[in-house]
Structure 1
Amino acid sequence: MADIDTAPERARERVGSSEEQPAAWSATNGGGAEGITRRLGIVQLDAIDAAVRATEGRETTTITRADFGAPEITALMDAARYDIIQGRGAVLLSGIDISRYSVDQFARIHFGLGAHLGRAAEQSERHDRIGYVRKEPNPEKRGYLSDTELGPHTDYHGILSLASVVTSEEGGVSGFVSAAAVYDVIRRERPDLLEALEEGYYYPTGLDSVTDYKVPTFSVIDGHIGVYAYVLFIVRAAMIRGEPVPAKFVEALRFFNTVARRPELMASFTMQPGEIAYWHNFRVLHSRTSFRNTPGRERLLLRLWLHPRDHFPLAKGFYEISDILDQQHAQGFSMVGNTEELLRGAYELMRG
């Protein structure tokens, strides 16, 4: 694991502009959602259908890459892995007719395709390696179980995925933003903030402990730009340390947030039933608008967190935090915990 460059100015000099960085796409120059979409053909759909039938009766989390190992599927997911690791950082697979499948069958498709990209992680202390993203009673105020807006952010594991089962009547629009494009804008408009973003801040390792090093918001190593933007962890770390988040870093985070929300940068789209998105958590920020369910039509997506088969260099902390979470979930707890207090702290931090 490579550490962050100890000479930030030299690191920045090695990072090209958006015209030189294929990962630094925007909604205007990258074709929006269309620019990351791969439409499945009949041979791919037939191969997927055969894999579904062959795995009938199996538990979803027992499905392996070999179960969905037909050459047509392997070629598709090799192309998807290129998109995620070396291309724009995200891919949207379109064309699966979800009316042909039950939720359990579609979950096997989601898990089987994802197995080509990495190993599924447990997403909570409930040991769920495939999650259900929907509105439900949510005393811990977890975002994926609410109907509220989720601004541009990262989560914890290298590759993330959502598979759409049911759309809401209103809202629920997804957004993807290139981390490299956000970096490029900040470098042009507010270069004075990059030092704070590349230095970062401590992250929690438990309910009362933090890292002994700072985790950068932007990792810049050998021309590779990564991002870790999870403000709730920054708030928790500051609480544990008993100190305010440094003022310059707060200023930088606020500007980072406004840039990431710019419409010209964000590819916005409503995932249709049967569509599956995979993206690199540290290359692409993701978001969701609020939504409204109606009787008989309740928004539902399936979720995967994956440890990638392929890596690019990232600063210390990016993958280490996910390993810590895995250990906690295996033990039946999580430092994410009840987020209500953290949400208040994050609101105050970002809004002032």
Structure 2
Amino acid sequence: MADVDAAIERQGMGWTRLGEPSGAWTSESGGGSEGLTRRLSPAQIDALDTAVRATEGRAATDVTADDFGAPELRALMAAARYDIMAGRGAVLLSGIDIGRYDLEQFKRLHFGLGTHLGMAAEQSPRHDRIGLVRKEPNPDRRGYLTDTELGPHTDYHEILSLACVVASEEGGVSGFVSAAAVYEALRRERPDLLDALLEGYHYPTSLETVTDYKVPTFSVVDGHVAIYNYVIYIAQAAQIRGEPVPPRLVEALRCLFAIAKRPEFMVSFMLQPGEIVFWHNFRVMHSRTSFRNSPGRERTLLRLWLHAHETFPMARGYHEIGRILDRQHGEGWSMLVNTDESLRAVYELVNGQG
């Protein structure tokens, strides 16, 4: 474990030897999707309904925590914050009857709850602080606008959320995997690969530039485990630098993906209309199976990216890349462009074949 200790020291952070990492869970030990679920009480549902009606006519992105500040809602979101930051890293809110709301009202409800956890970021050059997750024409090949499978990964901001408007007729099953549990499995099974993941690799800062430091795939700060697992950034940075991804990192990433896809590590659930899930992007990897729409029934979800009011301790780069994206989206462009070449590079990196 000497190489692992040295790699953690290179992150420049305190380290406590991990037995069972903080927040580590598997599907069985975490109670499956039920273990992530908080069912709203009648009083909480009434408070939400009152807040939605009181903000009628206002844009969703204009509502505040005070607008959704009834004691019942503050208590709900305080519990959700604990689940996200100190518990398993995710919480699913169930019991909202979406039939009571039109789309704009449900957007206000979703955004209003999110304001208790963080400040919403723009998700694209469209300046959308509430994203619509659905299949649509998609020249930049953004994953959330396709119907294809998305393997376990992270995105870019600390807290993420999805709220279901319409479920697909077939597929679209969500999955969560504990980053700390995957770390612990690697530490037991392949400790020789951890140093490469703790060292990480450069990340792009534009279509032509990369960080002058390496962003660790695994961050360990005072025993707190986080993960930045967005492999297309690693492939893109290597292309910009004109070099291959280091072979040891490639081997480590393939092992990480193999562990994350084990059924015993993943909590799978179908988000139902009216249900809302919040999770910590760097504590929990998320995935989605492919799905199929049918006429008159198109899978539609709302999405939030949030800069958390209360932050989890993490290595350099985890927050910084999100802020770089914020600036780009504010300027009307983005480095989140997936070409055929970049997608082939990622497939080869993860699977070992073209």
User: What TM-score range do you get, normalising by the shorter chain?
Assistant: over 0.9
Q: Which amino acid aligns with 1:31?
A: G
Say which SS state the counterpart of residue 109 (structure 2) adopts.
helix
Aligned counterparts of 1:62 and 1:287: Cα–Cα separation in 2? 30
In structure 2, list runs of 5 or more residues that go unmatched. 1-5
Cα pair 2:22 2:223 within 8 Å, conserved: no
Report what 2:328 is aligned to. 328
Q: How far apart are residue 28 of structure 1 and its match?
A: 1.2
Report what 2:309 is aligned to. 309
Could you say if the C-alpha distance between residues 211 and 40 of structure 1 is closer, same or farther in structure 2, counting changes exceeding 3 Å?
Answer: same
Aligned counterparts of 1:22 and 1:239: Cα–Cα separation in 2? 35
Say which SS state the counterpart of residue 264 (structure 1) adopts.
helix
Say yes or no: does 1:110 pair with 2:84: no
Report what 1:216 is aligned to. 216
Give matches, 1:89-128, under 5 Å: 89-128=89-128
Q: How far apart are residue 139 of structure 1 and its match?
A: 1.6
Cα pair 1:161 1:303 within 8 Å, conserved: yes
Aligned counterparts of 1:213 and 1:12: Cα–Cα separation in 2? 19
Report what 2:161 is aligned to. 161
CA RMSD of aligned residues (A): 1.6
Say which SS state the counterpart of residue 298 (structure 1) adopts.
coil
Say which SS state the counterpart of residue 175 (structure 1) adopts.
strand
Aligned counterparts of 2:110 and 2:32: Cα–Cα separation in 1? 23
Could you say if the C-alpha distance between residues 219 and 67 of structure 1 is closer, same or farther in structure 2, counting changes exceeding 3 Å?
Answer: same
Say which SS state the counterpart of residue 161 (structure 1) adopts.
strand
Q: Which amino acid aligns with 2:54?
A: A
Say yes or no: does 1:188 pair with 2:188: yes
Q: How many residues align?
A: 347
Q: Which amino acid aligns with 1:227?
A: I
Q: Which amino acid aligns with 2:136?
A: E
Say which SS state the counterpart of residue 257 (structure 1) adopts.
helix
Give matches, 1:120-159, under 5 Å: 120-159=120-159
Report what 1:229 is aligned to. 229
Q: How far apart are residue 105 of structure 1 and its match?
A: 0.6
Aligned counterparts of 1:287 and 1:40: Cα–Cα separation in 2? 25
Aligned counterparts of 1:165 and 1:171: Cα–Cα separation in 2? 15
Say yes or no: does 1:17 pair with 2:23: no
Could you say if the C-alpha distance between residues 108 and 15 of structure 1 is closer, same or farther in structure 2, counting changes exceeding 3 Å?
Answer: farther
Aligned counterparts of 1:100 and 1:317: Cα–Cα separation in 2? 42
In structure 1, list runs of 5 or more residues that go unmatched. none
Report what 1:47 is aligned to. 47
TM-score (norm 2): 0.95
Q: How far apart are residue 260 of structure 1 and its match?
A: 0.7
CA deviation string 1:308-330 (max 9, x = no partner): 00012110000000010000100
Q: How far apart are residue 17 of structure 1 and its match?
A: 3.0
Q: Which amino acid aligns with 2:9?
A: A
CA deviation string 1:293-317 (max 9, x = no partner): 0111110000000000001211000
TM-score (norm 1): 0.96
Aligned counterparts of 1:7 and 1:207: Cα–Cα separation in 2? 31
Could you say if the C-alpha distance between residues 11 and 265 of structure 1 is closer, same or farther in structure 2, counting changes exceeding 3 Å?
Answer: farther
Of 6, 9, 12 in structure 2, the residue corresponding to residue 7 of structure 1 is 9
Report what 2:3 is aligned to. none
Could you say if the C-alpha distance between residues 5 and 309 of structure 1 is closer, same or farther in structure 2, counting changes exceeding 3 Å?
Answer: farther
Q: How far apart are residue 342 of structure 1 and its match?
A: 1.6
Q: How far apart are residue 339 of structure 1 and its match?
A: 3.8
